[in-house]
Amino acid sequence: MSLFPFTTTSFNISPSLFLTILVSTLVLLILTLRSSNSKHVKLPPGPPGWPVVGNLFQFARSKKQFYEYVDDVRNKYGPIFTLRMGSRTMIIISDSAIAHDVLIQRGPMFATRPSENPTRTIFSSNTFTVNASAYGPVWRSLRRNM
């Protein structure tokens, strides 16, 4: 009886090469999981998502508008929660007093965003928007004009 439901000879790979590839893949997976856990940032609670797509499938399956989905999540997790939409992590604030505190009283602390990937840089007007620029004179000017 074989360990695998297929034979390694059907792929023209020697069994030792196949096991080497399998073990290497498992080691890389373990190292990746460890390194991603060490960079873990404490975020507000939110619905658990899938590894690559985050909460996209949960949102799509709900068949609701985004604001309706957010309202349902807010009822379960409170006024501040985290949603992952693909590779983007969003922290949603749904209380006006907290939003005022974050945006007005502590604006400079929360102003800077993570750097964009090249594709998003193209579609974000080369960081000349409030949500894409780093905190500084450009950000203050854009925010004032907003």
What does the DSSP assignment read for 88-99?
Answer: EEEEEE--HHHH
Q: What is the pTM of this model?
A: 0.57
Decide if 103 contacts 110 (C-beta within 8 A).
yes
**pLDDT, tens only, 71-121:** 999 999 999 999 988 878 888 898 889 888 887 788 777 776 666 666 666
pLDDT at 49 over 80: yes
Tokens of 88: 């983007």
Q: In sequence order, which ranges of the chain are alpha helices (DSSP H)?
A: 15-38, 56-62, 66-77, 96-100, 107-111, 118-123, 137-145
Decide which of 35 and 74 is more confident: 74
